[in-house]
Amino acid sequence: MNALGQRIATLIETQGPLSVAQFMTIALLDPSDGYYARRDPFGARGDFITAPEVSQIFGELVGLWCVQAWIDQDEPKRAQLVELGPGRGTLMADALRAARLAPEFLTSIDVVMVEASDALRALQQERLRDCGAPVQWKDRFEAGDRPLFLIANEFFDALPVRQFVHTERGWCERMIVADKGVLGFALSPLASAVAVEDDAPIGGVYETSPAALAIAEEIGHAIARKGGAALIIDYGYDRPGFGETLQAVGRHRFKDVLDAPGEIDLSAHVDFTALAAAARRGGAQTFGPVGQGRLLDALGIGARAEKLARLNKNEASLVAGAVDRLASPEQMGTLFKALAILPPHTPTPPGF
Ligand code: SAH
Break the chain into its structural domains and give their ranges. Answer: 3-342
- Per residue in 34-54, pLDDT (tens digit) is 998 876 766 656 677 899 999
Closest by CA position to 342, among listed 170, 211, 79, 149: 149
Residue 352 scores a pLDDT above 80? yes
The predicted structure's pLDDT at residue 249: 86
Ligand 1 close to Cβ of residue 116 (< 6 A): yes
Best residue among 127, 138, 155 to mutate for probing ligand 1, ranked by most atoms within 8 Å of CB: 155
- Per residue in 269-312, pLDDT (tens digit) is 999 999 999 999 999 999 999 999 999 999 999 999 999 999 88
Best residue among 49, 115, 150 to mutate for probing ligand 1, ranked by most atoms within 8 Å of CB: 115
Residue 199 scores a pLDDT above 90? no
- Alpha-carbon gap, residue 234 to 244, rounded angstroms: 17
What separation in Å is there between the alpha carbon of 227 and the centre of ligand 1? 25
Query: Model confidence at 314, in pLDDT bands (50, 70, 90)?
Result: confident
Ligand 1 close to Cβ of residue 114 (< 6 A): yes
Mean pLDDT of 201-213: 94
Mean pLDDT of 194-204: 81
Ligand 1 close to Cβ of residue 58 (< 6 A): no
- Alpha-carbon gap, residue 265 to 262, rounded angstroms: 7
Pairing label, strands 228-237, 247-250? unpaired
The predicted structure's pLDDT at residue 223: 98
Ligand 1 close to Cβ of residue 124 (< 6 A): no
- Alpha-carbon gap, residue 53 to 91, rounded angstroms: 8
- Per residue in 169-191, pLDDT (tens digit) is 999 999 999 999 899 999 999 99
- Alpha-carbon gap, residue 302 to 338, rounded angstroms: 18
What separation in Å is there between the alpha carbon of 82 and the centre of ligand 1? 13
The predicted structure's pLDDT at residue 45: 62
- Alpha-carbon gap, residue 14 to 350, rounded angstroms: 53
Best residue among 36, 128, 218, 232 to mutate for probing ligand 1, ranked by most atoms within 8 Å of CB: 36
- Per residue in 90-137, pLDDT (tens digit) is 999 999 999 999 999 999 999 999 999 888 999 999 999 988 889 999
Cβ-proximal residues to 174 (8 Å cutoff; 6+ apart), any chain: 19, 20, 163, 164, 165, 185, 186, 187, 188, 205
CATH number of the domain at 3-342, out of 3.30.930.10, 3.30.70.1350, 3.30.70.141, 3.40.50.12710?
A: 3.40.50.12710
The predicted structure's pLDDT at residue 183: 95
- Alpha-carbon gap, residue 90 to 59, rounded angstroms: 7
Ligand 1 close to Cβ of residue 94 (< 6 A): no
The predicted structure's pLDDT at residue 341: 98
- Per residue in 222-275, pLDDT (tens digit) is 999 999 999 999 999 987 777 889 999 887 788 889 989 999 899 999 999 999
